[in-house]
Amino acid sequence: MTDIRRHALLDSTNEEARRLALAGEHGPLWIVAAEQSSGRGRRGREWVSKPGNLFVTHLCEVSAPPEACAQLSFAAALAASDAIACYAPNADINLKWPNDILLERRKVAGILLEAAPNGAVVRLIVGIGINLAHFPVDTEFPAISLASVTQHAPEPDAVLTRLVAAWDAWYEDWLRQGFAPIRAAWLARAQGLGGNLKVRMGQSETEGVFENLDEDGALLLRVQGGGRLRITAGEVFFTH
């Protein structure tokens, strides 16, 4: 039976998962909040957390090196896109490297994966936020909500049920077959594959053609002159 712990308000579902892990909780469990007071995304950015959207974190233990566990951010993106597709089957749903889900080319969901190594075991914290009813405005990369496309926001608990089932399936694939099926499925849904990208890495930016993902999930960018860059962290923007 799936262990789901529901809260009316949390500072952050990822922070609650971290607190539980530090207190000795092993999981697997899901932590969901109707609202977050200090939701955050990648690089410490604020994650706007109004009631009506889905804010959830999965806590589990994984017997794998931290670098291998990072592959599960791609599995989480696939699971979230599967759940969203149940409510918008005719919409354009794609994945943006490294861990965003796009609906009609705008960000509808994001993943924040964190890990706490504990010897040979990693306590993995997989945060997932999905814009069901609301979305932030004036963001650098345009955002959207599911309701903007379908004219109806599904209940967060209903989406959570689909998300949990999809995660379980992709996670099982990863355990049995490794990253290869996750990588192939992610690439099949990738936005901008074969096209021009701008990648921001800290204070620097570079442009090139999104050629592929390597076997660990790094972005492979073909740059001017024919060279290839392997990028493990950065912000992606589409130039066309």
Q: How confident is the model at residue 50 (pLDDT cuts 50, 70, 90)?
A: confident
Which residue ranges does the chain devote to CATH 2.30.30.100?
A: 196-238
What pLDDT is recorded for position 42?
Answer: 56
Q: How far apart are CA 211 and CA 139, in angstroms?
A: 27
Does this model's pTM top 0.75? My answer is yes
Mean pLDDT rounded to a whole number for the chain: 92
pLDDT tens digits for range 105-152: 999 999 999 987 676 788 999 999 999 999 998 888 899 999 999 999
What pLDDT is recorded for position 198?
Answer: 93
The yes-or-no verdict on residue 81 having pLDDT over 80 is: yes
Q: How confident is the model at residue 48 (pLDDT cuts 50, 70, 90)?
A: low
Segment 13-26 shows an average pLDDT of: 92
pLDDT tens digits for range 163-201: 999 999 999 999 999 999 999 999 999 999 999 999 998
- Residue 123 tokens read as 């306590």
Residue tagged 């992606």 (tokens): 236
Residue tagged 């409510």 (tokens): 87
Q: How far apart are CA 202 and CA 228, in angstroms?
A: 19
Which residue ranges does the chain devote to CATH 3.30.930.10?
A: 4-188
Q: How confident is the model at residue 46 (pLDDT cuts 50, 70, 90)?
A: low
| Sign of the torsion formed by the C-alpha atoms of 95, 105, 143 and 54 | negative
What pLDDT is recorded for position 201?
Answer: 85
Parallel, antiparallel, or unpaired for β 4-10 and 29-36?
parallel
Is the domain 4-188 a CATH 3.30.930.10 member? yes
Task: State the fold for domain 196-238.
Answer: SH3 type barrels. (2.30.30)
Q: How far apart are CA 31 and CA 163, in angstroms?
A: 13
> Of 196, 208, 179, whose CA–CA distance to 239 is shortest?
196
What pLDDT is recorded for position 225?
Answer: 81
Parallel, antiparallel, or unpaired for β 54-62 and 29-36?
antiparallel
